């Protein structure tokens, strides 16, 4: 059956690419679907040509999803209209170098799981290229992508609320876990919040921001609840750096007041977990960190991507750190994506990851002062806020190493580079016109 699914995807790609080439406006529809799909991949929308279903790591084979097929179709239907900034390329190359070095440095174990992760990384790059190209080709593609994500967040809000009403202490929606739904919703809530600052007068952003708050409450994840409020404050500060307006000050003050009023409600959500449960969770997290630190000290070049759980157990690190013998505790990596990357990809990989994140954030931060007023600029502000808050959240969870969050990072990165590239191109064209010279470049729909 999986080969029939793969054959269908192979047929799907050229057909959709041809349709998108024939009419650029359909890119908006494709981006809407692309934004929505990562939330629904659990509904059997992916297969694994090579499957290690019982593997202890996060990635359990060579996987292919509908997202990959749609991203490839978008890529084939568009032409390059931008170049990824050099610092981003350099640090991504460093990250890949860490992956390669750690794969051979940990060759005493299994190399196939590292290949599984390399494949997942390539799929994320594919999505990044598709989003950045679509954004640079069709001006409404970015908003369509956010709209697709937003519809999914509203659906997840309904599902998680239904689970909560029916007795779930920590509802995870169709994504299965409070952390998954919390982190993925953050990638949508912050851009929606930023659009409100810019004067976007439709009700849709308000619904998304509200749905994000409900998801945080019914999920009762401590980091998700805290970072929801912190993320809104960060987005407000970024928006004010872009441009100070009375509307932003009023909405910002109202948002801060609302967060203060809702603080007891957030505390009530957290208190649904017993004190013993929270203390046990804290102890387990500390033990996992101790195990990771011992592994890092003995393997500075890394144990190989997707090999953490295996080495943690057979290397005796979990036992020495006092990790519980419960199956769940022994089958999960450390709840810190940076420590996980350091343990698996070594110091080279961590430098690449941190440098990549900082480069993307620096690109967005440096553009805030010169971006013109408008919805596209507000979207850049929100996407930057989402990247910052997700990067902070990554210090408390390993979820960003899963393929669904790789997709979300790729979409955010693609939105930021695509939108800033178009804004910079428009700025240069206007400057050239003001000097009485129009550069000999092909006009894009975003310039029109």
The interaxial angle of helices 222-242 and 204-219, nearest 10 deg, is: 150
Nearest CA-CA partner of 403 in 99, 2, 64, 30: 64
Mapped onto helix, strand or coil, the DSSP state of residue 63 is: strand
- Listed in sequence order, the DSSP H helices in 141-274 are 141-165, 178-197, 204-219, 222-242, 246-270
Banded pLDDT at 442 (limits 50, 70, 90): very low
What are the structure tokens assigned to 370, written together? 């010169």
The number of CA neighbours under 13 Å toward the Cβ of 381 is: 31
Report which of residues 46 and 338 the model is more confident about. 338
Residues, the chain, total?
448
User: Is the pLDDT assigned to residue 325 strictly greater than 90?
Assistant: no
| Tens digits of residue pLDDT in 203-218 | 888 999 999 999 988 8
Mapped onto helix, strand or coil, the DSSP state of residue 142 is: helix
| Tens digits of residue pLDDT in 209-267 | 999 999 988 887 788 888 998 999 999 999 998 888 888 888 888 888 888 877 777 77
> CA-CA distance, 58 to 46, in Å (whole number)?
16
- Whether the CA torsion 252, 258, 262, 263 is positive or negative: it is positive
| Tens digits of residue pLDDT in 144-168 | 999 999 999 999 999 999 998 888 8
Residue 444 pLDDT:
39
Interval 390-415 mean pLDDT: 93
Q: Give Cα 271 to chain centroid, integer Å.
A: 28
Mapped onto helix, strand or coil, the DSSP state of residue 332 is: coil
Residue 200 pLDDT:
64
Residue 15 pLDDT:
94
User: Is the pLDDT assigned to residue 142 strictly greater than 90?
Assistant: yes
Nearest CA-CA partner of 245 in 192, 194, 204, 203: 194
Phi-psi region of 228 (alpha: psi -120 to 50; beta: other; left: phi over 0): alpha
User: Is the pLDDT assigned to residue 278 strictly greater than 90?
Assistant: no
Residue 324 pLDDT:
82
């Amino acid at each position: 059956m999986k080969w029939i699914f793969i054959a269908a995807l192979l047929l799907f790609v050229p057909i959709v690419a041809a349709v998108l080439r024939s009419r650029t406006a359909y890119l908006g529809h494709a981006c809407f679907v692309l934004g929505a799909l990562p939330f629904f991949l659990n509904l059997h929308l992916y297969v694994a040509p090579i499957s290690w279903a019982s593997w202890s790591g996060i990635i359990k084979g060579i996987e292919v999803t509908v997202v990959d097929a749609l991203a490839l179709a978008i890529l084939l239907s568009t032409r390059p209209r931008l170049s990824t900034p050099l610092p981003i390329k350099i640090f991504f190359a460093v990250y890949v170098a860490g992956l390669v070095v750690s794969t051979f440095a940990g060759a005493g174990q299994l190399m196939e799981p590292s290949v599984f992760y390399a494949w997942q990384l390539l799929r994320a790059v594919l999505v990044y290229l598709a989003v950045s190209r679509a954004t640079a080709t069709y001006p409404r593609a970015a908003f369509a992508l956010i709209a697709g994500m937003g519809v999914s967040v509203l659906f997840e809000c309904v599902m998680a609320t239904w689970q909560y009403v029916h007795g779930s202490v920590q509802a995870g929606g169709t994504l299965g876990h409070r952390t998954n739904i919390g982190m993925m919703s953050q990638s949508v809530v912050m851009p929606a919040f930023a659009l409100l600052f810019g004067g976007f007068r439709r009700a849709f952003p308000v619904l998304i921001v509200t749905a994000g708050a409900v998801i945080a409450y019914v999920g009762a994840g401590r980091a998700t609840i805290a970072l929801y409020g912190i993320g809104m404050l960060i987005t407000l500060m970024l928006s004010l750096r872009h441009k100070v307006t009375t509307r932003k000050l009023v909405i910002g003050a109202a948002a801060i007041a609302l967060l203060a009023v809702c603080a007891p409600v957030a505390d009530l959500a957290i208190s649904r977990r017993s004190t013993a449960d929270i203390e046990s969770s804290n102890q387990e997290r500390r033990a996992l960190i101790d195990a990771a630190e011992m592994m890092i000290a003995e393997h500075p070049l890394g144990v190989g991507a997707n090999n953490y759980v295996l080495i943690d157990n057979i290397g005796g690190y979990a036992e020495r750190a006092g990790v519980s013998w419960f199956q769940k505790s022994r089958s999960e990596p450390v709840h810190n994506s940076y420590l996980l990357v350091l343990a698996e990809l070594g110091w080279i990989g961590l430098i690449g990851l941190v440098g990549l994140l900082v480069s993307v954030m620096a690109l967005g931060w440096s553009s805030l002062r010169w971006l013109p007023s408008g919805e596209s600029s507000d979207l850049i502000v929100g996407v930057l806020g989402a990247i910052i808050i997700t990067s902070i959240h990554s210090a408390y969870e390993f979820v960003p190493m899963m393929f669904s969050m790789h997709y979300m990072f790729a979409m955010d990165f693609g939105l930021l580079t695509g939108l800033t590239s178009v804004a910079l191109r428009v700025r240069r064209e206007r400057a050239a016109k003001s000097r009485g010279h129009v550069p000999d470049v092909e006009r894009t729909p975003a310039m029109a």
